Structure 1
């Protein structure tokens, strides 16, 4: 082979685009919190917004002390100094026993089509690969898991813990009107797996089929999701907590998220719950489902479940699939496509 042929061969070798970005295909709105009575779930006018309010509290020293501070005299002095805090709280009124959480979810088509890509050959190969997946597997398995996480109320996060009853209602909106509606008793659906009771199979499959059609781009899908959580009159509820970057200017030790004074939950937190479908990672038997992330990040545990050294992270799987024609296992294919649905910036600009 001549030098010119060798250079031509190298030039035609497929490489990852240095600019590669995908828009997320599951777009939840922020969720808003309302309060009311469990037996008035069908009465729209019976629900009032959950307001945020401040509370000033006097805490005690409870943090782990350094060795030099464990002297009894120093400890007594520290305890005598009150730990004063101002925090945001959100509670149900004394005459309301149920939290109502409502948000909308838009499902977009065009899975696998980058919003930005500076390598035409790479984009063409990517689109062919995703198209092959869509034709052979479809989006049914991923859609079923997304639908399951709507039905089981995973998006409620801490509000789900200890609830006496939870009902999730899902409505398909067409031109602003309810075309179809489903209702699920969420506590009958586990957070550890995706097994569906026989009585709920048909309804859950109907929601999954709708989401799959939306991901495939064959229909416009807008869902309205409403959860009713019976936690008890006057009980505290848990909106999102704001991240205060400039803590030096903050007068509160905890700031909760609100929309025009109404307690709410960030769309990012809802999205994280919806994509908690990854049971294909190496430690699934121990942790159960985790959110779809390129490295399987679980921030609450400070752990990455998909390490590059084990070749099971998104980048190794995607590069093997596209650049080396090494088709991943079906489970890993689901993970790769779910990461594309998640969206993000995945270019190779920083690679030497």
Structure 2
């Protein structure tokens, strides 16, 4: 079979990890049952001019310092959203659900029968051999270590994560002290991690089964401290009255499901630079090109033949990959996306 006969120009996969938005509440570490929804507060502040000036302005300021004084005299007025605990609360509660779906062996759209057959065969070989054990463990670790808290995790005295399986007739629960688990690697032989990882892996490896998880996280950060919901993307800040808009749902401060999902799939330690301490970003989110937007860098490039498409095109047509590369490819398929190939 030639490659031209085996091209799927329409190829898409539905995501298999489906988190909800995360809702934020205030409480105390001593009495976690007494909770109140956290609301956004609008604040107007008078900032100073602190941005870097262009070269032309800098030269003018060198010649005439009075011009800089005049510039600084103009206040940098801003209206922003903030969110804080109350003065009698020291703990943030974050609550969301996560659905884990099976059926990764079947694309949601594929217009080439020959490709679909070879792809399905490759996935079934992986499932029979690996049973999603490694990926399941890594997703479980990112629940246990509370990576999904993002900035809210920094400076926390205590972090407790409760994970509850809600499936009828197979309820189960796990409780983790997130401070005991690393966010830099996945080297853990914890019994609870393995148990939760097995439940996630079993769902991923199934044909049409699912796992429904409820996640409740308590973070002791200090009385009246600021918490950090997701920030909305404002395309034209000049036209709006606020320079920072935070996310809320029904007046409850919240985190985007996409942000939670990004944290859960930050399991890629297989990219080439991971072992290089100077250039490593730690575990990065599963992406076809290993893109880390806040660093402005792609860790998996076609030039180095480490990107998803290089691996996938070979593997899905019956080619062999290293085990770590197979894990990576399967994790991208769990992520989902549109991966059609041009036949030109």
Q: TM-score, normalised by structure 2?
A: 0.94
Query: 1:181 pairs with 145, 151, 173, which one?
Result: 173
How far, CA to CA, are the matches of 1:289 and 1:28 in structure 2? 20
How far, CA to CA, are the matches of 2:80 and 2:124 in structure 1? 50
Matched-pair contact (CA < 8 Å) for 1:22–1:112: no
How far, CA to CA, are the matches of 1:89 and 1:144 in structure 2? 35
Residue 327 of structure 1: SS of its match in structure 2? coil
How far, CA to CA, are the matches of 2:191 and 2:182 in structure 1? 17
Query: 1:191 pairs with 167, 171, 183, which one?
Result: 183
Q: Does 1:289 align with 2:292?
A: no
How far, CA to CA, are the matches of 1:126 and 1:279 in structure 2? 25
Aligned position for 1:317: 311
Query: 1:150 pairs with 137, 143, 147, which one?
Result: 143
Residue 283 of structure 1: SS of its match in structure 2? helix
Matched-pair contact (CA < 8 Å) for 1:189–1:195: no
Matched-pair contact (CA < 8 Å) for 2:25–2:36: yes
Aligned position for 2:46: 58
How far, CA to CA, are the matches of 2:285 and 2:303 in structure 1? 20
Aligned position for 2:224: 234
Paired positions, count: 334
How far, CA to CA, are the matches of 1:178 and 1:317 in structure 2? 37
Residue 6 of structure 2: SS of its match in structure 1? coil
Matched-pair contact (CA < 8 Å) for 2:204–2:210: no
Residue 321 of structure 2: SS of its match in structure 1? coil
Matched-pair contact (CA < 8 Å) for 1:146–1:208: yes
What is the CA distance between 1:348 and its match in structure 2?
1.4
Q: Does 1:141 align with 2:131?
A: no
How far, CA to CA, are the matches of 1:112 and 1:313 in structure 2? 21
Aligned position for 1:17: 8
How far, CA to CA, are the matches of 2:172 and 2:55 in structure 1? 63
Q: Does 1:223 align with 2:210?
A: no
Q: CA RMSD in A?
A: 1.5
Aligned position for 2:263: 273
Structure 1 unmatched runs, 5+: 1-8
Structure 2 unmatched runs, 5+: none
Aligned position for 2:30: 39
What is the CA distance between 1:67 and its match in structure 2?
2.1
What is the CA distance between 1:56 and its match in structure 2?
0.2
Residue 291 of structure 1: SS of its match in structure 2? coil
Query: 1:162 pairs with 144, 147, 155, which one?
Result: 155
Larger displacement relative to structure 2 (70-79 or 256-265) = 70-79
Q: Does 1:261 align with 2:261?
A: no
How far, CA to CA, are the matches of 2:17 and 2:230 in structure 1? 19
Matched-pair contact (CA < 8 Å) for 2:131–2:202: no
Q: Deviations over 1:177-220 (max 9, x none)?
A: 98211110001111100122x6xx11111110110111122743
Q: Deviations over 1:127-169 (max 9, x none)?
A: 1100000001110000000000000000000000111110000
Aligned position for 1:202: 191
Residue 51 of structure 1: SS of its match in structure 2? coil
Larger displacement relative to structure 2 (49-58 or 240-249) = 240-249
Matched-pair contact (CA < 8 Å) for 2:40–2:83: yes
Q: Deviations over 1:250-307 (max 9, x none)?
A: 2110000000110000000000000000000011122221000000001111000000
Aligned position for 1:6: none
Query: 2:302 pairs with 294, 300, 308, which one?
Result: 308
What is the CA distance between 1:13 and its match in structure 2?
4.7
How far, CA to CA, are the matches of 2:195 and 2:48 in structure 1? 52
Relative distance call for 1:287 and 1:38 in structure 2 (3 A) is same
Matched-pair contact (CA < 8 Å) for 1:242–1:255: yes
